[in-house]
A = this chain, B = another copy of it.
Amino acid sequence: MIDCAEGTQVQLRKNKIRFSKINHIFISHLHGDHFFGLIGLVSTFTLLNRTTDLHIYGPKGIQEIIKLQLRLSNSWTNYGLFFHELESKESEVIFEDEKVLVKTIPLKHRVYTNGFLFQEKTGERKLNLDAVQNYEIDTCYYQKIKNGNDITLEDGRIIKNDELTFDPIPAKNYAFCSDTAYDESIIPIIKNIDVLYHESTFLQSEENLAKKTLHSTAKEAATIALKSNAKQLILGHYSTRYENIDLFKEEAKSIFPEVYLANDGKSFEF
């Protein structure tokens, strides 16, 4: 989960997202609309009898905020609660497992802020079942084949791996960048990204307000997408002053073609 505003629990329930699926929470910065719901979620996990570890990644101070409230409410968690506090101004790897690697994207905002880059790892190769059965290869070699190895048959013939497998599903990358002023220094980190979420609090008509508050306009978000050679751009974090968010899409599309609008409860599949 990325960020956790007040009422996130309610939204999770409304959108039928299972609480137990959440094991890592990445908090971009300590403004209320990005973390005020965290303490509630942490507490609810205890009420739900969670036992699995929970990892929280966020700016230095987040541990103090959560632990102070737990302490003063004479509460605790039934599960392991681990904080990974961030202070670096350079991009760094903060999580890695066999499927994904997560890096910070230092952003430019009014407080210390990070975006997050999720780099999916290329999975194993897909078995060509017709081919392996044709060569009468025993199932105990299947994992070896999926790992990319060639196979020596009993008669001594060597079968090349690409005869036995198909390419794996291509790994995809996702970058989440909120909140931030227009900042080209993030481009090398998110270069060739598949999906870029970039905030667009304002339209270009409020460019000055964007500069003043260290937020971005839709045009600026699209410019970052273009210069990063992103495949797709999702906009979000619109100021409530705008009644019609389609204007954000219009503005961004004048710069970059593949634009989507994030909104409450909306889900995207890539």
Footprint of B on A, CB under 8 Å? 6-7, 9-10, 30-32, 36-37, 39-40, 43, 59, 61-62, 64-65, 68-69, 72-75, 110-111
**Which of B6, B68, B111 is close to A7, meaning CB atoms less than 8 Å apart?**
B6
Q: Please determine whether A74 and B37 come into contact, CB atoms closer than 8 angstroms.
A: no
Q: Please determine whether B74 and A110 come into contact, CB atoms closer than 8 angstroms.
A: yes
How distant is A65 from chain B, measured CB to nearest CB, in Å? 6
Q: Please determine whether B65 and A30 come into contact, CB atoms closer than 8 angstroms.
A: no
* A31 contacts across to B, CB distance below 8 A: 73, 75
How distant is A88 from chain B, measured CB to nearest CB, in Å? 17
* A7 contacts across to B, CB distance below 8 A: 6-7, 10
**Contacts A6-B7, A7-B7, A68-B68 supplied; 16 other A-B pairs, CB < 8 Å:** A6-B9, A6-B40, A30-B72, A30-B73, A31-B75, A32-B39, A32-B43, A36-B39, A36-B43, A36-B69, A59-B72, A64-B68, A64-B72, A65-B68, A73-B111, A74-B110
How distant is A212 from chain B, measured CB to nearest CB, in Å? 15
* A36 contacts across to B, CB distance below 8 A: 39-40, 43, 69
* A61 contacts across to B, CB distance below 8 A: 68, 72
- Distance, CA A129 to CA B59, complexed state (A): 67
- Distance, CA A75 to CA B213, complexed state (A): 13
How distant is A202 from chain B, measured CB to nearest CB, in Å? 16
* A74 contacts across to B, CB distance below 8 A: 30, 110-111
* A64 contacts across to B, CB distance below 8 A: 68, 72
**Which of B30, B68, B73 is close to A32, meaning CB atoms less than 8 Å apart?**
B73
Q: Please determine whether A69 and B73 come into contact, CB atoms closer than 8 angstroms.
A: no
How distant is A138 from chain B, measured CB to nearest CB, in Å? 54
How distant is A119 from chain B, measured CB to nearest CB, in Å? 29
* A73 contacts across to B, CB distance below 8 A: 30-32, 111
- Distance, CA A263 to CA B73, complexed state (A): 24
6 A-B residue pairs with CB within 8 Å: A32-B40, A32-B75, A36-B69, A59-B72, A64-B72, A65-B72
